[in-house]
Amino acid sequence: APQRETHAFQAEINQLLSLVINSLYSHKEIFLRELVSNASDALDKLRFRAITEPELLADEPALELRLIPDEAKGTLTIEDTGIGMTHDELVKNLGTIAHSGSREFLEALAQKGQQKDMQLIGQFGVGFYSAYLVADRVEVVSRAAGKDPAAWRWTSEAKGSFTVEPAERAARGTSITLHLKEDQKEFLGEWRLRSLITQYSDYVGHPIKLQVSKTTGTGDDAKTETSLEVVNKASALWQRAKSEITDEQYQEFYKHLTHDWEAPLAWTHFKADGNTQFTGLLFVPKQPPFDLDAQQQRGVRLFVKRVFIMDRCEELVPQWLRFVRGVIDSDDLPLNVSRELLQDSQVVRAIRKHVVKKSLDLLEKLAKDKPEDYLTFWKAFGTVLKEGLATEAEQKDKLGGLLRYESSRDEGLTSLADYVGRMKEGQEAIYYVYGESRKAVADSPHLEALKQRGFEVLYMTDPVDEWAAQGLREFQGKPLVSALQADLKLQSTDEQKKEQEQQAEGLKTLTAKMKDVLQESVREVRVSDRLTDSPVCLVVPEGGSPAYLERLLQQRGR
């Protein structure tokens, strides 16, 4: 017969466990949110697989969570009838850092510098291991959904190793039993548990049942009866009416969805009832994740008729909105929808269009109502949003309105609309200068003529800026013109023109000599009216490739 095996934790897990046990004193109650969230994920996964394998539900038709406090033993058990884990999954999932939550926690820690901000870290979900905030021993008994009736018990006191041994379990699912520390027995209390569920886990779309005990009679006649009571709303958050959802509930749901430890910056919750029916709940985070692109797995989750289908559904959201998080729940897609089907589905295209519109509306509203918050967004995700200018022609006007740039006005970021509002009489274009840094562009000789005329110049210093500006081309009927462009058509008076012609005549020998010396390095040397203080500057000739392209080619060694 199989024996008990002992496994060592991966080094990173030990590091994590020692932090959890020795350093996190605040927010210990988050353990419940984490374990409930895992159970809810396990139920979602099962429901999804049961679409094609209904027999998985045979041993236990209910999809639910149970919380079972046991005063006598000093234990709290969190049970689910979800997908369960095999022997190998137990070892891998609860012994190595392969999974998301904990890896991010360690990365956050590295970024913050050693143990600096414990308060913040206390709010961070450390996933399963947060069980050790309140327990000194944890037992997990799990049985994977399917034909194999084998169940396994995982046990650990978080001292470097865990054991795995055969166990009994009547049906599929997972039970996690926490042997509460002496000073953490408060988590056995009915009201404490009820209020934690309401506070942190009300979004969960499966019933959470709490075992409650009622004692009747006294002395020898005393009888204790237990029963299970549903303590959450048990309907997916996005299916409820907006008026019934508090900001805190939206925020908790967002944290569950994204593993972000900060509340979102903004959200939008909507129902579309046109030709395609679906519900959407979209969030804009405050901070970019550690790696925005690798993080796409957290993008927008697709549900079909309340059934979880997939985590990251890129078909629903364009690349340039990849910071958006949330849920789309469609009534029109088939439950067994595949990637291929998503790719050329009319329904998906309609949803995507709506998602784009709602996201842009949300950002516009944020910019209008909470300009400070909008700047936070802009600093975090502006670079990503700008990609839309080059790829989504239809949304140019809306996107143009969302852009923010530093400018020669030196008063922080400005919108294009505000810039246009300040345009001088006779100014016909929105001028910008592109360069590597603010300092480089602000000192650029190319600006002199513009500054002299009192024209404001936008400073573009983000590598995507020039590309984006060319995508936008114009805003509110005003063309965007680069200050580096050769034929800067600035209006001069007749007198000025005359003077310039005379000057050019007088400098003819000099410019000819310069061309002689510089030879093939330049195409032409000419007298210009664009400079006021500097003697010379380089410009891109008409038909020449833009400066950013030159730089790109140079970097690649062409």
* Residue closer to ligand ADP (CB basis): 91 or 540: 91
453 labeled binding residue: no
CB of 95 to ligand ADP, least distance (A): 10
117 labeled binding residue: no
* Residue closer to ligand ADP (CB basis): 39 or 347: 39
| CA-angle at 173, arms to 169 and 178, nearest 5° | 80
Neighbours of 25 (CB within 10 A): 10
DSSP 34: H
Pick the piece of the chain touching Mg ion (CB under 5 A) from 18-26, 96-104, 188-196, 487-495: 96-104
Q: Name which of residues 20 to 39 contact Mg ion (CB under 5 A).
A: 38
Q: Out of 17, 33, 66, 127, name the contact with ligand ADP by CB under 6 A.
A: 127
Task: Report long-range pairs for 472-477 (Cβ below 8 Å, ≥24 apart).
Answer: 472/389, 472/396, 472/399, 472/400, 472/403, 473/396, 474/430, 475/397, 475/400, 475/416, 475/417, 475/420, 475/430, 476/400, 476/416, 476/417, 476/420
Contacts of 543 (CB under 8 A, 6+ apart): none
Contact between 34 and ligand ADP per CB under 6 A: yes
* Residue closer to ligand ADP (CB basis): 20 or 42: 42
User: Residue 272 in contact with residue 300, Cβ under 8 Å?
Assistant: no
Q: Out of 99, 240, 357, 523, name the contact with ligand ADP by CB under 6 A.
A: 99
* Residue closer to ligand ADP (CB basis): 34 or 406: 34
Q: Out of 31, 105, 124, 128, name the contact with ligand ADP by CB under 6 A.
A: 128
Pick the piece of the chain touching ligand ADP (CB under 6 A) from 1-9, 80-88, 215-223, 329-337: 80-88
CB of 98 to ligand ADP, least distance (A): 8
Task: Give the number of residues in contact with ligand ADP, rule: CB under 6 A.
Answer: 17
Instruction: Report CA-CA distances (Å) from 132 to 16, 23, 108.
Output: 10, 12, 20
Task: Pick what 192 binds: ligand ADP, Mg ion, none; C-beta below 5 to 8 Å, kind-dependent.
Answer: none
Q: Tokens 């957290």 identify what position?
A: 298
205 labeled binding residue: no
Contact between 130 and Mg ion per CB under 5 A: no
Pick the piece of the chain touching Mg ion (CB under 5 A) from 50-58, 72-80, 123-131, 374-382: 123-131
- The torsion angle over the Cα atoms of residues 151, 157, 158 and 161, rounded to 10 degrees, is -60
Assign residue 217 a region (left: φ > 0; alpha: ψ between -120 and 50; beta: otherwise). left
Contact between 278 and ligand ADP per CB under 6 A: no
DSSP 485: B
435 labeled binding residue: no
* Residue closer to ligand ADP (CB basis): 256 or 354: 256
User: Residue 450 in contact with residue 541, Cβ under 8 Å?
Assistant: no
Contact between 93 and Mg ion per CB under 5 A: no
Residue of this chain nearest to ligand ADP (CB atom): 127
34 labeled binding residue: yes
Task: Report long-range pairs for 19-22 (Cβ below 8 Å, ≥24 apart).
Answer: 19/109, 19/115, 19/121, 20/126, 20/129, 20/130, 20/132, 20/133, 20/158, 21/132, 21/133, 21/158
Cα Rg of the chain, angstroms: 31
9 labeled binding residue: no
Contact between 387 and ligand ADP per CB under 6 A: no
Task: Pick what 39 binds: Mg ion, ligand ADP, none; C-beta below 5 to 8 Å, kind-dependent.
Answer: ligand ADP
* Residue closer to ligand ADP (CB basis): 94 or 208: 94
Contact between 164 and ligand ADP per CB under 6 A: no
Distance CA 219, CA 533 (A): 100
Residue whose C-alpha is closest to residue 236's, from 274, 195, 278: 278
544 labeled binding residue: no
Contact between 80 and ligand ADP per CB under 6 A: yes
Q: Out of 19, 39, 134, 282, name the contact with ligand ADP by CB under 6 A.
A: 39
Burial class (CB within 10 angstroms; exposed 0-12, middle 13-18, buried 19+) of 18: middle
Helix, strand, coil shares of the chain, percent, nearest 5, are 45, 20, 35
Q: Tokens 């008076």 identify what position?
A: 493
336 labeled binding residue: no
Binding pattern to ligand ADP, positions 174-203, x when CB under 6 A?
A: x-----------------------------
User: Whole-angstrom distance between the N-terminal and C-terminal Cα of the chain?
Assistant: 68
80 labeled binding residue: yes
Pick the piece of the chain touching Mg ion (CB under 5 A) from 101-109, 369-377, 446-454, 469-477: 101-109
Distance CA 71, CA 176 (A): 16
Tokens of 95: 């012994």
Residue whose C-alpha is closest to residue 364's, from 395, 332, 407, 392: 395
Contact between 102 and ligand ADP per CB under 6 A: yes
Distance CA 477, CA 429 (A): 9
38 labeled binding residue: yes
Question: Between β-strands 151-156 and 161-167, what pairing exists: parallel, antiparallel or unpaired?
Answer: antiparallel
* Residue closer to ligand ADP (CB basis): 102 or 177: 102
* Residue closer to ligand ADP (CB basis): 16 or 281: 16
Neighbours of 69 (CB within 10 A): 23
Binding pattern to Mg ion, positions 53-92, x when CB under 5 A?
A: ----------------------------------------
Residue whose C-alpha is closest to residue 83's, from 241, 206, 226: 206
Q: Out of 13, 19, 32, 42, name the contact with ligand ADP by CB under 6 A.
A: 42
Q: Out of 100, 198, 277, 476, name the contact with ligand ADP by CB under 6 A.
A: 100
Contacts of 425 (CB under 8 A, 6+ apart): none
CB of 221 to ligand ADP, least distance (A): 40
339 labeled binding residue: yes
Residues that bind ligand ADP (CB under 6 A): 34, 38-39, 42, 80, 82-83, 85, 93-94, 99-102, 127-128, 174
Residue list, annotated binding site: 34, 38, 80, 85, 93, 100-101, 123-128, 174, 339
Residue list, annotated binding site for ATP: 34, 38, 80, 85, 93, 100-101, 123-128, 174, 339
Residues that bind Mg ion (CB under 5 A): 38, 101, 127
